[in-house]
Amino acid sequence: MGLVEWAKSPWGQDVPIHIAWFLLWVSAIGGLVFLVVHAIYVRYWATPEHAGAVPPDLARKLPERIQRHSLAARLFHWIMALAMFVLLFTAFLPKVGVQFAWVTWHWIAGVVLTASIIFHIIHASFFMDFWSIWPDKADIEDASRRLRRALGQSAPEPRKFAKYPLENKLYHGVIVLAGLAATLTGVFMMFRVRTPFFTRNPYLFGDMTWGLMYVLHGLAGVGLIALVMVHVYFAVRPEKFDITKSMVFGDISREHYLEHHDPERWVPETTTSK
């Protein structure tokens, strides 16, 4: 059973046309297995990390609510999330037997997603701390400490997190790769359907290039199934729910900040961000 389906071009050339659709179920089941294994691990084996003492003078200086996400960042997140769900449902429901006119809804959601990503790149580059979501040396050192301690080895106490824990940063990196792969190939694929943006031109690329583009688009799409499942799972976990609420209301409590974050690695903003 191959991972890619092939067809003959009019000139007798073997060209890829899309991924094998059983990969849809591989991604969904893989995501479900991860959720179950993680839930069992947290329930029976995970131990809470030592929070460490907080200097009283620091606690007194902090506001009662700490801003975590600006309004612009929250709007981007929910618009992107809506577009992503529409894209996944319109792409894969027909593959499991739910038939409807999905193409128009799919490319419209793709346009919304593309516009939101462009906005986010500009917003994150010029109005936010761009590097706060990318792993740094401290993240790697603390990950090594946690691993060694989990294996029963001697290691220094890991520091508290910056604004984003390492697992958030790694997830962000993976979903950026999958999202950009799906988005960039999707923009070119819009030349194969009638839209107000481009003149339809199915001959823009050769058969082999189109085929590889469809394969990459499909691989990114099925990968996003598992990634979205994992994201939703962590969003509804009780210990992560304060973070989820911050994506709605924009802030977290002072107590949550002091318990989970290092004030030297994440200095709270004292004014409303853009």
In angstroms, the CA 52 to CA 168 distance is 22
The predicted pLDDT at position 161 comes to: 92
pLDDT grade for 1, boundaries at 50, 70 and 90? low
Displacement of CA 144 from its chain's centroid (Å): 24
- Whether the pLDDT of residue 250 is over 70: the answer is yes
In angstroms, the CA 224 to CA 174 distance is 10
In angstroms, the CA 32 to CA 77 distance is 23
Residue, of 198 and 106, whose pLDDT is higher: 106
The predicted pLDDT at position 185 comes to: 97
Rounded to the nearest 10°, the torsion over CA 32, 36, 38, 39 is 130
pLDDT grade for 272, boundaries at 50, 70 and 90? very low
pLDDT > 70 fraction of the chain, expressed in percent and rounded: 95
Tokens 């001697």 sit on residue: 154
Digit-coded pLDDT (tens) for 3-57: 999 999 888 889 999 999 999 999 999 999 999 999 999 998 877 665 566 667 7
In angstroms, the CA 55 to CA 62 distance is 11
Does residue 119 contact residue 80 with C-beta atoms inside 8 Å?
no
- Whether the pLDDT of residue 138 is over 50: the answer is yes
Digit-coded pLDDT (tens) for 50-93: 556 666 777 778 899 999 999 999 999 999 999 999 999 999 99
- Whether the pLDDT of residue 136 is over 90: the answer is yes
Long-range contacts of 112-121 (CB under 8 A, 24+ apart): 112/79, 112/82, 112/83, 113/80, 113/83, 113/84, 113/87, 113/179, 113/183, 114/183, 114/186, 114/187, 116/76, 116/79, 116/80, 116/83, 117/80, 117/179, 117/180, 117/183, 119/76, 120/76, 120/80
Closest of 167, 161, 201, 71 to residue 123, by C-alpha? 71
- Whether the pLDDT of residue 273 is over 60: the answer is no
The predicted pLDDT at position 48 comes to: 67
Mean pLDDT, the chain, whole residue set: 91
The predicted pLDDT at position 274 comes to: 43
Q: How far is CA 197 from CA 194, 201, 206, 242, in A?
A: 8, 12, 21, 41
As separate numbers, helices (DSSP H) first and strands (DSSP E) second, the chain gives 9, 4
pLDDT > 90 fraction of the chain, expressed in percent and rounded: 76
Q: Which CATH superfamily is domain 69-260 in?
A: Transmembrane di-heme cytochromes, Chain C (1.20.950.20)
The predicted pLDDT at position 10 comes to: 83
**What is the arithmetic mean of pLDDT over 235-246?**
94
Digit-coded pLDDT (tens) for 151-189: 889 999 898 999 999 999 999 999 999 999 999 999 999
